[in-house]
Structure 1
Amino acid sequence: MDWDKLRIFHAVAAAGSLTHAGDSLHLSQSAVSRQIRALEESLGTTLFHRHARGLILTEQGELLFEATRAMNKRLEAAAARIRDSAEEVFGQLRVTTTTAFGTLWLAPRLPTLYERYPDLNIDLILEERVLDLPMREADVAIRMKEPSQADLIRKKLMGIRIGLYATQDYLRRSPPIERLDDLAGHRLICQASSSPQVAAGATLVAQLMTQEPRSVLNINNYFGVLQATLNSLGIGVIPDYITEDFPTLVRVLPEVESGEVPVFLAYPEELRQSKRVAVFRDFVQDEIFAHRRRNREAAA
């Protein structure tokens, strides 16, 4: 199969237009159209439905586009690995993690990484869905459980626990809370049970609900839980990696917490020699070690 025709097909399928694809490829619309017709003839099928508003892939076109998309990702990975053979650290690094960890822990620390490597481009993908690293949906993942996908290099970064926190303002104007059953007089702010979350967090929330809190505010991610807690709406059920950066929060019922939740960093085996991955991995580890050291010094 002609690689050049596949490249042009991929551009047309991605753009949905012969004109836009031609602009990106620096080819005329007629040249692009001829290449698509030739590819269709060689395959003996129609790849696009032609409409006045653009092009729509046929079922056969969708199959081919899926294949060229996978090929394109592999080519991008190969090009990145070739660039990584140089001494400089530059180019794109796609990092995926949860909304809370990416927003509240990782993003505020990225200036340190950019100071060291100003030519590095981070594409931060924040979502609860576990992306497929071997299929190159992302280069690096930070997740709250050990990845199960094959052909990945895994490293445990730390263990976290989920506990109860509130502001001094909320505690001053609310009934005392000294025992677990005192939750009956308070509003509980927690991640909604319908949201993707670690089992340890869901188990803790289920335990707290047996105390029949006076009111419950369910939010679908920890960023929202934190903001509601900081605004003194109630007692928040929050991971400790978040609260360590917000010293105004007070730990409530310290003996009540989840089991340990492991935090893993993972990346595909094929990126083992990638300098971009290595500097990001080392940066995250350094930030965790520095934070732990500050906590020990503060406790001493």
Structure 2
Amino acid sequence: MDWDDLRVFLAVARQESLSSAARVLRIDPATVGRRIARLEEALGQPLFAKSPQGYALSDAGQRLLDHAVRAEQAMVGAADALRGSSAGLTGQVRIGAPDGCANFLLPQVVAAICDANPGLEVQIIALPRVFNLSRREADMAVAVSRPGAGRLSVQRLADYRLHLAAHRDYLDRHPPIRSLADLRGHRVVGYIPDMIFDKELDYLAEAELSTVPLASNSVSVQFNWLRTGAGIGIVHDFALPAGPGLVRVLPGLLSLRRSFYLIRHADDRRLDRLNRFATALAHGLRQELVRLETAAQRMT
């Protein structure tokens, strides 16, 4: 079995379309299709179920996926060994993260890592959902809770805090908030209730609020509503410095603590390049959290 054919197979399995895989591989879609057809013919069974929605792995494709991933890891590991641990990090690393972390923490952390490693290319996927590392949607993911299953390596990165917050202009225009009960007279900003993908994100339940007049599945949309004085909602302390005029509300009555976890496929622990990147990411994220949360405390 040719490694180059397996590389094409992995791209289609991850992208679920010939055109998207072709962009990743930098070849034309027709060539990708021919390579998949050739591999299926050599193996004597279909690897994908084709439909208007894209290419989904067949049972045979699912069985081949783990072997193809291990072959990929062996190739990357060999390159790492030849390069040596003293060399700078190179190649591409893809990180999945909830959009709060992806917008307010990862950009500056990743930029610093890339400054020290000019040959490194980092992609941040900011989506409000859990990433499938087995399908290699990302090389690693930051999550707000430990996964319950899978061959995964989980590292607790750091704790972070969240508080109620609103813009000073909003607070000046509306009745004072002296207790949690007073919140019921205010316009609340938060997640769309039936689109909360992790119980750790159900912040407003702790404030006993069930009605969310301004709701979005995106932390960034929520933050921009609050920044423009549209209402009151739960905000990461590390995001507050990015919103001049935002102040914490009732910090003595409602203070939430959550944790970030770095999740990787268990087999990737053998890859020196990803280990070194994960170490730099963890160190940088912890430092940036301390810096931003300290700045947030000075604002109130």
TM-score scaled by length of structure 1: 0.74
Matched residues in 2 for 1:293 and 1:49: separation? 49
The offset of 1:179, in angstroms, is 1.8
CA RMSD across the alignment = 4.0
Distance 1:34 1:286, change over 3 A: closer
Matched residues in 2 for 1:255 and 1:185: separation? 20
| Deviation by residue 1:166-221 (Cα, 9 ceiling, x = unmatched) | 111111222211222222331111111112244344253363426x7xx7211112
Aligned amino acid, residue 79 of structure 1: M
Distance 1:92 1:75, change over 3 A: farther
Residue from 252, 255, 260 that aligns with 2:257: 260
Aligned amino acid, residue 250 of structure 1: V
| Aligned ranges 1:80-229 → 2 under 5 Å | 80-85=76-81, 86=83, 87-134=87-134, 136-202=136-202, 204-205=204-205, 207-209=207-209, 216-229=213-226
Matched residues in 2 for 1:82 and 1:259: separation? 45
The offset of 1:128, in angstroms, is 3.2
Aligned residues: 280
Distance 1:66 1:20, change over 3 A: farther
Distance 1:63 1:20, change over 3 A: farther
Per mean C-alpha deviation after superposition, the further-off stretch among 135-144 and 290-299 is 290-299
Aligned partner of residue 78 in structure 1, secondary structure? helix
Matched residues in 2 for 1:165 and 1:34: separation? 56
Matched residues in 1 for 2:283 and 2:11: separation? 42
Distance 1:46 1:258, change over 3 A: same
Distance 1:80 1:123, change over 3 A: farther
TM-score scaled by length of structure 2: 0.74
* Aligned residues of 1:200 and 1:260 also touching (Cα < 8 A): no
Matched residues in 2 for 1:24 and 1:218: separation? 42
* Aligned residues of 2:18 and 2:29 also touching (Cα < 8 A): yes
Residue from 273, 280, 295 that aligns with 1:282: 280
Residue from 212, 231, 235 that aligns with 1:234: 231
Distance 1:280 1:247, change over 3 A: farther
Aligned amino acid, residue 93 of structure 1: V
Matched residues in 2 for 1:267 and 1:34: separation? 31
Identity over the aligned pairs, expressed in percent? Answer: 21
The offset of 1:49, in angstroms, is 10
Q: Which runs of 5+ in 1 are unaligned?
A: none
Per mean C-alpha deviation after superposition, the further-off stretch among 101-110 and 217-226 is 101-110
* Aligned residues of 1:158 and 1:262 also touching (Cα < 8 A): yes
The offset of 1:70, in angstroms, is 4.4
Per mean C-alpha deviation after superposition, the further-off stretch among 194-203 and 160-169 is 194-203
Matched residues in 1 for 2:154 and 2:100: separation? 21
Aligned amino acid, residue 268 of structure 2: L
Aligned amino acid, residue 131 of structure 1: F
Residue from 64, 70, 74 that aligns with 1:74: 70
Aligned amino acid, residue 217 of structure 2: N
* Aligned residues of 1:93 and 1:277 also touching (Cα < 8 A): no
| Deviation by residue 1:17-50 (Cα, 9 ceiling, x = unmatched) | xx9566469xxx7xx79957963xx73x678999
Matched residues in 2 for 1:196 and 1:63: separation? 31
Matched residues in 2 for 1:38 and 1:198: separation? 42
The offset of 1:262, in angstroms, is 1.6
* Aligned residues of 1:204 and 1:258 also touching (Cα < 8 A): no
Aligned partner of residue 209 in structure 1, secondary structure? coil
Matched residues in 2 for 1:75 and 1:116: separation? 29
Distance 1:62 1:135, change over 3 A: closer
* Aligned residues of 1:228 and 1:234 also touching (Cα < 8 A): yes
Matched residues in 1 for 2:11 and 2:176: separation? 65
Matched residues in 2 for 1:34 and 1:295: separation? 53
Distance 1:93 1:187, change over 3 A: same
* Aligned residues of 1:203 and 1:258 also touching (Cα < 8 A): no
* Aligned residues of 2:223 and 2:235 also touching (Cα < 8 A): yes
Matched residues in 1 for 2:219 and 2:11: separation? 40
